[in-house]
Chains A and B, each alone.
Chain A
């Protein structure tokens, strides 16, 4: 595989991103290494080619946002909004991720080896998210579709006003948000969980050690008891 190196100490990030936005056919199958990210914002955003990008250090805000097809690996931590609105591909954060990781992500897989901050997978729309550590409060708020696996603990208000996303937590949940409740894991869901654990490098983790959560669906429809309020 052809490997290209970019050093952000020497080359402006805008030029690196413009290169990565070039003709998808010429980028497909290439491997790109980005040195000295030093917390810069917007690294490798908007990729739409089957390219392999490795960020050698800590990334700032919105790293790999809007990703399509690409596999982006961050060898440090990621700032707010990593893989936000991802459509497909894989984003792998080897350190921790700050707030709003995978916000509104439609597809693809976000793997975070460490902890994630608050509002992880907020408004998730179909992507898969696997967090090796714990997640902060208000995670999966209004999550609509997709699967959210947490190997550690979850903070307050998990899955508040959740739609049809599925949450699997191995540790403890400080509190559940409105309309989020415990679910029994079906054979089908167990398979989803088991596959995601393997994809995220956690094949040693037993899928049966997780508790599933999802929507109680009481907020879906107008409740007649509230009619008096109008």
Chain B
């Protein structure tokens, strides 16, 4: 079991309180996923020549100031950084490949969560309420988000195994379910030069879609190939800089429920997580059909 949560805020006035709107949704999914939680939040993109790097340190007493200083010295730039406990968002004009190589060599203990212009990723072990408090999810501002509560069944409980997973810039995915052919999929993708960070089954789905899109498929084509290749149970929720997308496996083994309202689109594994949204009584609440793709654009 796991819980998924998605929220896209259409009403511009409500975007400053997206964190507050989301929090009861995430906590509502605690019974489905009490061991870890994660969230990808999308907001105004940084300048086209900049990238946001999200790092996870594993311990809360990491010296982020020293890291930022070393970074600026190495790249002769003035980066801006926003540390929060064991998490840092660093915005810089330095080239991603060079940044990745330097961090890997100089700070091997850091885990790079994401690179992009509009997305930040937070994920950690603990109950959804604990993780949300650790990173102050409640005060997040933005346009849309994807979140997850995890009950691990396939692989270890670590921050790296928590969702969301990313595949390329400003693209992430959360998963409720389990894949039975994750290992064979992984072997196939590794032969094609795709690198994996964990043995998580969701990462296999994520890397598969990443590979298809790298080969030129759009999201819809990639997902249609996913229906053929992915064997198992899944509800997948994906976020990009300007949209959310949802699919359920052809057997509808894993749940999802959607509330469409003029002010927002909210998605969750169960209605429990939607019940407290404003004016939910007037939202169109429905269950997505299996093997169909649902997309909401900003």
A→B interface (CB under 8 Å): 38-40, 57-58, 60-61, 76-77, 79-80, 95-96, 98-99, 115, 117-118, 136-138
B252 & A39 in contact (Cβ 8 Å cutoff):
no
B40 to chain A, nearest CB (A): 24
Number of interface residues of B (CB under 8 A): 15
Q: Which 9 pairs from chain A and chain B are nearest by CB? A: A39-B271, A38-B275, A39-B272, A118-B252, A58-B271, A39-B275, A39-B270, A98-B287, A117-B287
Q: Is the interface of A mostly helix, strand, loop or mixed?
A: loop
B166-210 near A? 1/0 per residue, CB < 8 Å: 000000000000000000000000000000000000000000000
Quick one: given A38-B276, A77-B285, A99-B252, are A136 and B290 in contact (CB under 8 Å)? yes
Pick the contact of A118: B272, B276, B290 (CB < 8 A).
Answer: B290
State in angstroms the CA–CA spacing of A212 and B290 once bound together.
Answer: 26
Is B289 at the interface (CB under 8 A from chain A)? yes
* Cross-chain contact A96 with B287 (CB below 8 angstroms): yes
Does B255 contact A80, Cβ atoms closer than 8 Å? yes
Contacts of B274 in A (CB 8 A): 39
Please state if A77 and B251 are interface contacts (CB–CB under 8 Å).
no
Chain A residues whose CB sits within 8 angstroms of the CB of B285 once the complex forms: 58, 76-77, 95
B286 within 8 A of A: yes
Given known A-B contacts A98-B287, A117-B287, A118-B290, A40 and B272 have beta carbons under 8 A apart: yes
**Pairs A–B under 8 Å by Cβ, sample size 29:** A38-B271, A38-B275, A38-B276, A39-B271, A39-B273, A40-B272, A57-B275, A58-B275, A60-B270, A76-B285, A77-B271, A77-B285, A79-B255, A79-B270, A79-B271, A80-B255, A96-B286, A98-B255, A98-B287, A99-B252, A115-B287, A117-B252, A117-B287, A118-B251, A118-B290, A136-B252, A136-B289, A136-B290, A137-B251
